[in-house]
Structure 1
Amino acid sequence: MSPRWTSRRRFLALCGASALTALGSSRNPSRSVQASPSPHDTIHREFSGGNLSGWRLALGDGIYAAPDEPPVSIEDIETRHEDVLSELRANVRKRRIMAHNITYFRQRDELALQYTHLFTCHFRLPYMPSVENTEENGQALDAAVFVWDGIDTRMDWGAAFQWGLNPRERFGELRVNIQEGVHAAGWEPVGYLTPDLEWHTFQIIVNYPLQTASLRIDEQSFPIDLVGIPKRWPATISAGVQVEAISMYPGTTLNGTLHRVQFRDWSWLWMDMKQQRLFLPTVLNTTQGVLRSGAFTSPSFREGMQMETPQPRKSKRLMNHRVPRCLISK
């Protein structure tokens, strides 16, 4: 799947009106900037589709197997593509397990951390989870934007939200990733979305140069944090968007159930600061990060990451690579 160059008209059609509001909101006050776009101005990169065809499938780490059950494997998940949507399935064999379907799309780009990434997608449940439903039940639906920095920090930087769908616990709760120390990210409740069979829309925006993030679901904004997760991935820089389905945790007493979630009409846009001002009526223009948890600025986090003021290496790669501000002592 190759990127397309986007005009302002196409950008507005892809994002919808609510994206403009979302880009102008964060956890800190912002300043609006007005600009008149030229016919020759374009978004840096744009990817979009009616379904998730061309995305990859991976088994996530949110898995469990009851005693005497074989381990969870890639055979327990699948993603099906139709003309107008894609359906993520977890625990397709209805075993006494919790299976985790991650369907993702990645692009390698050494400049990925220099842009604001806007990920928009429609999602729905094709069935209603309930305590009485013994065939289909879910644990969660997730979505995220991350950029892997395998050159300097060896951290995966991004923002993610989760919709709790287990009818036996916190049904409909919305959660976001927060930093828990140096090496882990946890979940924190931020709101509620009533489970139903209707189509909903999420918009995740991560401004890497300013270290800000924004989450909007339908017409409501929710607080969200920028987090860093260490990985053992190759020494490259790559950006990715992903959606996820986790089947219900059966414990030792419940039967396994199938979980299905559907996605359609997605777009992923990369913009630099100039392009934000050209394409958007309001711009996320904060001077501080939106890290409510304070993870990147707390003394314990700085000590764990050895976050002294860095001495730049005199290499062409470093001079052309924007180091995240969370690595620089305040």
Structure 2
Amino acid sequence: MTSPTPLAAARAGTYKLGERSVARMGYGAMQLRKLASEPAKATSLLERAVALGVDHFDTAQFYGDGAINALIGRVARSNVGVTVASKIGADPNPGGKVPMRPAQRPEQLRASVEDNLRSLGLDHIPVVNLRRLDVGPGLRAEGDQVVDVDDQLAAMIALRSEGKIGAIGLSAVSLATVQRAIPARIACVQNAYSLVNQEFEDVLALCRRENIAWVPFFPLGGAYPGMPKVVEQPEIVAIAGELGVTPTQLGLIWLLAHAPNILLIPGTADRGHLEENIAAAAMDLPPDVLAKLDAFDPPPPGDIAV
């Protein structure tokens, strides 16, 4: 595959994320933990993404206990126009079985924003997503971590009024939670969603009607054992082969074609995979192939080990 041309990420157009419009192909930073001991290599990867048109970087304090934020912040400060989106609702849990722990209470949300500001080296975070832990695999809130969304949104609205954060987003949420949060002027929703997992089609439809960006995590299927993956579906692999693209690219192209409010943040620590992902933003699907993928019946999830 030839290297994508500069600004390839912008070929799929833009969509509004808070007060900014960003290229629909962005970058999720979780995989950068693999390069935590190689900051120069990680920075080079991020700069390559910027050169190819990526201007939306998704991160979190609990990615490497602030180390990844430091890398993202450095790139954001040196590239005008880069939009940083971070997450709160969980805190780092170094040395734990799971590298993060729930932090849902309003005072914890505020403390997490302050932690993100320090590690990013910014005085304002353009987008902050509240990871609610309502749905999907992973953490669940228990005990005093079960907090009403209205109380959480009140804390985030206050932070927005203070200028510490810009747009408010939600992550891992149900349809009912999104409906309750709309009056708070939420800008985006992040749920697990892909060609092989369309469980939240109703939430996506609501977001599309309300002009809310849909930013799916696990855009190529699940990272947990038992969750279907795009690259493991024979039908998808066969279609990709016929088109001369990779199954990964096909999964990303379908998402961009599926709804105009979808913003993608696939992550990788590999330069070749980065360029492959970004190249997908410049590709279109023939109408018959798009129809075939639209009719694809996602496989049922297996027993998910978390």
Please give the TM-score of this superposition, normalised by the length of structure 2: 0.26
Instruction: From the CA coordinates, give the structure whose radius of gyration is larger.
Output: 1
Higher strand proportion (structure 1 or 2): 1
Q: When you count helix as a share of all residues, which structure comes out higher?
A: 2
TM-score (structure 1 length as normaliser): 0.25
